[in-house]
Structure formats: structure tokens, C-alpha cells
């Protein structure tokens, strides 16, 4: 554990260094650090924290990912030698322990200033890597604060309780009565508290009125939502707030410089640095994270502060963008084609809402579609091959036993070997989990949750291009009738995966309505408006067929439909037939003429009049094989063209009451076309 000075010279060797106090030894808060040149300050070095896996610790301090990578002291010490790091460090989190860093308090003879010795007496204290400072640890939360040398004092003081990290040398002070592994971390003494109060003023109190302590990521989010003000005073206040919330760190300085450079009044890095250093000699504690949050809200951002087990969150953060004009002089020679995962049906890079009444079979169909895409089959066109797509299915509705049964039956029906799906299909049983991805924040806005971040990482780790989430009622912990909440929720899903198929239930009216006229979703119209693509599945009123329709798709012809039927043999729902685009009666002429021939052969008198009880529409619409999606107007117009084209004629006949009437009969030309209708599943009369 070789510690080094600020200039990179080796400090006391590891074999003479003490181990940390017992309270810190097994606490998983340890990491590594290396000295790196400070690009912002040529000629100076800075300590960069690393995890024991070799990765740089950057942002998200205290997040679940961060905590998972922090280790105990002995593990860090072993990794330090293996990775040839410059030393080990202790990450301060949760305010359980406060680390105090006293800069420039050791003279050339190695003597520590008396007031510093008095302050750290009775607790663990050591010489810092530079040899010119003292590091001490006390129990409790004294906050995160920083004050450079000044105000009549010859040394600076930094406090770390929730953020950042401190180096550990094991070079215990000679005057410290508690040494080595027997050393303890004690409560702060009155002398230490008095020194802190003198340097910083009264510490911030906790409670609901306290300003939240923001992570570096949260500071970045807030700045992203704020346009750098042209006024100097307001810009300075926001900069002071960032300084306070980041502890005056170099990372905070970089954030402020990058943010300021996007404004019209940017005066250069040199001014930023001079002001940044100056904040350490003034009481910046009156300007804190609350200043940033207020400015973000006033800029139109939706900011939700929500206390979690780990930290505070600002979610969701609207991206600040200005309108971008099209360069009309550089239009492409050919219009770019939108990308689809399923051509005409499932667009890439958008959220598609898949709605159906409970028990209709949407979970079956979602799994069927996932399997087809994972092996490269078109789910609605068996003869069409597609590029294979990695799919992640998140099932909060059906457990592992149910999903396994469906998987096995679908694989048998489709004649697919399970091993073909390895690496392409990921099915998660989430029935026993907390599945809310988006919740109300209590501040008039919504927030994404830890489960959202977990799922986002899972999608990234598996390389999934399509996420199928079952069901929206599990994912959204907010009012489905609140238009603003629905828009925020649907917008947040775009960050989960390249494409999302979100399953949802429909309202009672849609579940009983004709699929052609049904609303097709539950809650606010924002569900329909926010989805770039929408599927709706419902039973046809007069048959047992289930129709999966495409009432909305922004990048193709809407109106496509597939007929779904239950297979008793395979015990799953399968696709019987499909069509692209909205139904047109002329496309189904052979089928309609064949149905007419069957009706006539069974003794029905079909009238040419559209208003008659025995019109073509009224007779054919209830027959097996009648094409889904046709309306009475479509069929009436098509029947009128049959007479013009010589496919049918009106023939006189005598009714049972001896009155006379006319009915339709097929010509030889019409019968020839009707014969082709058998190819679409219509049996002989």
C-alpha cells in the first residue's frame, strides 16, 4: 500500500503503516486511487479513484452500481498491489462516518498545528499522502463542505460524509493515542466541532426543510435543463451552488465550464477557475442545491425530488433543445426509409402499445412474436424470413411455470429446437417483483425507478433490440387518466430499449365493441397520441376469430390485420391469415363471390339493393370466411361493380306469397372468379 506525495514521490512504505480502525476495516467502502496529471492545472497532479476491477469511479456516488463495486479493506489492499495503484481510499457514504482533511497543517519539521491536534484527539488520525496534511475520521454526519486556507487561518479544511473519497496511508499521528488495528473512530470532540463551526458557520440541519444533497449526476441533470444566464450575478449564484454540491471538486469545475461554454456570455476557462477557487474563501453554504432545482423548474423542467434508499433523484429530466431547421440545400436524393422490426407492423426505435381485453391472448401472441423474431421468422407471413432480433420478454403477469409451458408448446408447434434461442431470447419471470418503472414524485411530475434502471441495464447487457413488457398496469405507478403523466411515462420508455412493445388492458367499452370501432386502449387519449404505433386485439363479434389489427402506425400504412385462432392440437394461439394495410373489398373479390355462390346454393335470395334485409352485406357478413375489416359501404360498392363487370345478374323469381322479386345470380364469368375463392379457405357448398 505505497502512498505517494502530491508530486508522485513515495510516502512511508506499506510494511510500516497501520491498518484502519475496526469500524472501517470490514465496511465495504474501499477503493483504489492513482495520481494523474491535472489537465486543467498543468504541472499539478490529482488523485483519480478506481474500483478494484480497474474501472474508474465516475459519477453516481452511492448508487447501487457504485456500492456493488466498493470492497473491504483487505480486498482493496490486495488489488492495490496487483494493479499497481498508488494507494487505497475510503468512500464516504450515508453520513455514518465523516472524514476530515486538514491541508497544510504540518510544517517542514513534521510538527502538526496545535489546534488540529486538539481537534482530532481521541479519534483515529494520520498523515495525508502529501505529508503536509492530516486525515481524521469521526462518527456521525458533519456534511460535505470545503474551505481553502484563508480568513486568518493557515490551513484548509474539507469534510466528506456523503460524497467523494479520501486516501488512507496508515501513517498514524505520533500524538494519536489510538493506533493500529486497536484504533477506534470516536464521536467528534467539542474542540473539533468548534473548529468546524468557526470555519463553516453552523452546520446544515436535517429535516424536510433542508436542501437535498445532490450527486454529480443530479447536478449535471439540473444544469442540462438550465440555459446559462446572460446576467453575471445569476450565473455566479448557480456556479456557487454547483461548487457547494460538488465540494469544490475538479469534476464540478468541469461541469460548470462545459455548461457555461454553451451560453452567450462565456468569458473563458480562466475566469471560471478564478471564481471557483475564490468560493473556497467565502461562505457559499447559503447557495446550495435548492438554487439549482429552482432554476431548473423556472426553465420549464419537470423536476421531481424523491428520497430513495440510495440518494435523491431528479427524474425525469427534459432534454433542453432548440428547434433545428432543415438544410433544404442538402436534402437526400432518396427519402430515408423508416426501419421496421416487423415490416409494416412493428417500427424500430419507438414504443408500440399492444392492447387487448384480459383473456384474449395477447400474452400468448407476445411470446409467439418474440420466438419468431428471435429465430428470424415473420410472425404473420410464414414464408417470409427476417433478420434475427434479440428479444427480452419481461413478464409481470405470468410466472415461470406458465411461461415455460407456453414456450414448450410454441416450439413444438413451430418445430423449433430450444437451443436455437440461446442468446437471442431472454424471458424474465417478474411476478414476484416490484415492477413499477415510473411513479409519481409528489411534485407534480413523475420519476423513473430503480427497477427501470435495472431493466435498462439488463437490456444493455443482453443486447436486446426489442423489449416486450407485460403489462402497462404493472409498469406505471401513476394515474392512467393523467395526460401529462402518461406522456412522461411513454417518453421514458424510449430510454429502455431500441424498441418497446408494451402490453396493456383495454376499458370495458373496447372489450365489447367491434374491433373496427373500438377505442382500443384504457385511460387518457395520451396513450394513443404518445404511441407512435398501436396494436389492438379483440374477438370478432360474430365469430370466435381473434383479430390483431394495426389502427395506428406513423411510418407505414395503417389498418393491417391478422386473424388469430386457438389450436386445440397445439394448445396455443396461432396466426391463421394476415393482410397488409386497410381492407379493400376488391382485394377479396374471389372470396366474396364464392360466399355469394354458397349463399345462393343454400336457397338464400340475395338482393342487389343495399337497403334490403337480404343485401349482399347482410347475408355474407355472418358467414365463415368473411374477410375481416370490410364495411357495409365497401361491400355495397363492390357488389354494384359486379353487375357492371358482368359477374352477376338480377334474375326474377316468385316469392312464397306469390309476389315477384329479383335476386342475384352468378354468370359463368363470376363462377370462374368465385372458384379462386377456395384458395383463401372457403369450402365447397
Distance of alpha carbon 507 from alpha carbon 238, whole angstroms: 48
Binned at pLDDT 50, 70 and 90, residue 467 comes out as: very high
**Cα 608–chain centre separation:** 57
Domain 585-680 has CATH 1.10.10.10: yes
| Fold of the domain built from segment(s) 340-579 | Rossmann fold (3.40.50)
Q: Which of 248, 255, 249, 250 is nearest to 228 (CA)?
A: 255
Provide the grid cell at 143.
456534511
Residue 90 has pLDDT above 90, yes or no: yes
Give the helix ranges, DSSP H, for 426-530.
450-462, 472-475, 483-493, 508-512, 526-530
Residue 306 has pLDDT above 60, yes or no: no
CA 202, 203, 209 angle in degrees (round to 5)? 110
Provide the grid cell at 275.
471564481
| pLDDT winner (highest mean) among 79-93, 158-172, 312-326, 363-377 | 363-377
Of residues 291 and 114, the one with the higher pLDDT is: 114
Instruction: Note if the pTM is more than 0.85.
Output: no
pLDDT at 318: 43
Residue 199 has pLDDT above 60, yes or no: yes
Q: 340-579 and 585-680: same fold?
A: no
Give the helix ranges, DSSP H, for 438-480.
450-462, 472-475
pLDDT at 181: 40
| 487 close to 530: Cβ distance less than 8 angstroms | yes
Q: Which of 101-115, 140-154, 533-547 has the lowest mean pLDDT?
A: 140-154
Of residues 305 and 377, the one with the higher pLDDT is: 377
| pLDDT winner (highest mean) among 282-296, 396-410, 512-526, 648-662 | 396-410
CB atoms within 10 A of CB 215: 25
Q: Which of 528, 586, 588 is nearest to 558 (CA)?
A: 528
Domain boundary assignment for the chain: 14-200, 216-314, 340-579, 585-680
Query: DSSP labels for 110-174?
Result: SPBPHHHHHHHTTSEEEE-TTSS-EEEEEES----EEE-SBTTBSSEEEEESSSSEEEE---B-T
Q: Which of 101-115, 319-333, 605-619 has the lowest mean pLDDT?
A: 319-333
| 576 close to 545: Cβ distance less than 8 angstroms | yes
Residue 180 has pLDDT above 80, yes or no: no
Residue 116 has pLDDT above 70, yes or no: yes
Provide the grid cell at 128.
495525508
| pLDDT winner (highest mean) among 157-166, 398-407, 560-569 | 398-407
Residue 375 has pLDDT above 60, yes or no: yes
Distance of alpha carbon 447 from alpha carbon 315, whole angstroms: 4
High-pLDDT (> 90) share of the chain, %: 30
CA 524, 528, 534 angle in degrees (round to 5)? 140
Output DSSP code: residue 525.
Answer: T
For residues 537-543, give the mean pLDDT: 76
Of residues 140 and 381, the one with the higher pLDDT is: 381
Amino acid at each position: 500500500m505505497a502512498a505517494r506525495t502530491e508530486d508522485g514521490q513515495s510516502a512511508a512504505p506499506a510494511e510500516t503503516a497501520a491498518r484502519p480502525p475496526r469500524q472501517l476495516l470490514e465496511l465495504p467502502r474501499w477503493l483504489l486511487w492513482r495520481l494523474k496529471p491535472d489537465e486543467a492545472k498543468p504541472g499539478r497532479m490529482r488523485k483519480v479513484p478506481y474500483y478494484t476491477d480497474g474501472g474508474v469511479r465516475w459519477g453516481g456516488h452511492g448508487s447501487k452500481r457504485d456500492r456493488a463495486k466498493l470492497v473491504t479493506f483487505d480486498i482493496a489492499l490486495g488489488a492495490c498491489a496487483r494493479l499497481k495503484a498508488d494507494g487505497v481510499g475510503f468512500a464516504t457514504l450515508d453520513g455514518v462516518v465523516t472524514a476530515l482533511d486538514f491541508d497544510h497543517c504540518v510544517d517542514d519539521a513534521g510538527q502538526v498545528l496545535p489546534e488540529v491536534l486538539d481537534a482530532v484527539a481521541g479519534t483515529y488520525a494520520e498523515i495525508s499522502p502529501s505529508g503536509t496534511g492530516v486525515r481524521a475520521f469521526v462518527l456521525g454526519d458533519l456534511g460535505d463542505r470545503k474551505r481553502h486556507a484563508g480568513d486568518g487561518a493557515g490551513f484548509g479544511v474539507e469534510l466528506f460524509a456523503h460524497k467523494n473519497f479520501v486516501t488512507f496511508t496508515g501513517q498514524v499521528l505520533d500524538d494519536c493515542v489510538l493506533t493500529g488495528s486497536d484504533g477506534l473512530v470516536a464521536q467528534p470532540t467539542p474542540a473539533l466541532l468548534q473548529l468546524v463551526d468557526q470555519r463553516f458557520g453552523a452546520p446544515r440541519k436535517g429535516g424536510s426543510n433542508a436542501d437535498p444533497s445532490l450527486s454529480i449526476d443530479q447536478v449535471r441533470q439540473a444544469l442540462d435543463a438550465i440555459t446559462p444566464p446572460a446576467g453575471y450575478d445569476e450565473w455566479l449564484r448557480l456556479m456557487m451552488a454547483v461548487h457547494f454540491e460538488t465540494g469544490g471538486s475538479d469534476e464540478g469545475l468541469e461541469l460548470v465550464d462545459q455548461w457555461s461554454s454553451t451560453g452567450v456570455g462565456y468569458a473563458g476557462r480562466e475566469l471560471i477557475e478564478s471564481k471557483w477557487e475564490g468560493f473556497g474563501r467565502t461562505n457559499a453554504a447559503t447557495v446550495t442545491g435548492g438554487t439549482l432545482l429552482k432554476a431548473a423548474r423556472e426553465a420549464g423542467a419537470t423536476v421531481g425530488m424523491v428520497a430513495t434508499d440510495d440518494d435523491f433523484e431528479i427524474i425525469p429530466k427534459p432534454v433542453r433543445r432548440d428547434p433545428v431547421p432543415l438544410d433544404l440545400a442538402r436534402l437526400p436524393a432518396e427519402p430515408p426509409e423508416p426501419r421496421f422490426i416487423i415490416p409494416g407492423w412493428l417500427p424500430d426505435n419507438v414504443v408500440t402499445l399492444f392492447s387487448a381485453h384480459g383473456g384474449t391472448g395477447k400474452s400468448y401472441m407476445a411470446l409467439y412474436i418474440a420466438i419468431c423474431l428471435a429465430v428470424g421468422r415473420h410472425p404473420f407471413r410464414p414464408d417470409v424470413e427476417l433478420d434475427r432480433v434479440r428479444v427480452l420478454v419481461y413478464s409481470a403477469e405470468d410466472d415461470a411455470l406458465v411461461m415455460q409451458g407456453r414456450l414448450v408448446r410454441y416450439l413444438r408447434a413451430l418445430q423449433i429446437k430450444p437451443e436455437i434461442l440461446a442468446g437471442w431470447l431472454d424471458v424474465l419471470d417478474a411476478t414476484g417483483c416490484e415492477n413499477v418503472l415510473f411513479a409519481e414524485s409528489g411534485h407534480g411530475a413523475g420519476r423513473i425507478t430503480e427497477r427501470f434502471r435495472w431493466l435498462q441495464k439488463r437490456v444493455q447487457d443482453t443486447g436486446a433490440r426489442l423489449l416486450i413488457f407485460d403489462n402497462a398496469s404493472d409498469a406505471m405507478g401513476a394515474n392512467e387518466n393523467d395526460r401529462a403523466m402518461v406522456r412522461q411515462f411513454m417518453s421514458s420508455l424510449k430510454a429502455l430499449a431500441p424498441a418497446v412493445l408494451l402490453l396493456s388492458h383495454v376499458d370495458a367499452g373496447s372489450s365489447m365493441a367491434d374491433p373496427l370501432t373500438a377505442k382500443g386502449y384504457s385511460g387518457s387519449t395520451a396513450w394513443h397520441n404518445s404511441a407512435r404505433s398501436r396494436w389492438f386485439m379483440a374477438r370478432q363479434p360474430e365469430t370466435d376469430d381473434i383479430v390483431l389489427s394495426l389502427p395506428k402506425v406513423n411510418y407505414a400504412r395503417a389498418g393491417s390485420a391478422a386473424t388469430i385462432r386457438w389450436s386445440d392440437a397445439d394448445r396455443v394461439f396461432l396466426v391463421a391469415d394476415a393482410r397488409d394495410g386497410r381492407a379493400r373489398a376488391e382485394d377479396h373479390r374471389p372470396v366474396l363471390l364464392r360466399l355469394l355462390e354458397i349463399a345462393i346454393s343454400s336457397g338464400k335470395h340475395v338482393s342487389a339493393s343495399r337497403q334490403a334485409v337480404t343485401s349482399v352485406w347482410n347475408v355474407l357478413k355472418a358467414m365463415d370466411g368473411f374477410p375481416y375489416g370490410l364495411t357495409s359501404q365497401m361491400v355495397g360498392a363492390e357488389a354494384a361493380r359486379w353487375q357492371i363487370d358482368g359477374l352477376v345478374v338480377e334474375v326474377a323469381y316468385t316469392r312464397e306469397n306469390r309476389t315477384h322479386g329479383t335476386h342475384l345470380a352468378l354468370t359463368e364469368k363470376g363462377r370462374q372468379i368465385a372458384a379462386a375463392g377456395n384458395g383463401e379457405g372457403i369450402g365447397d357448398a
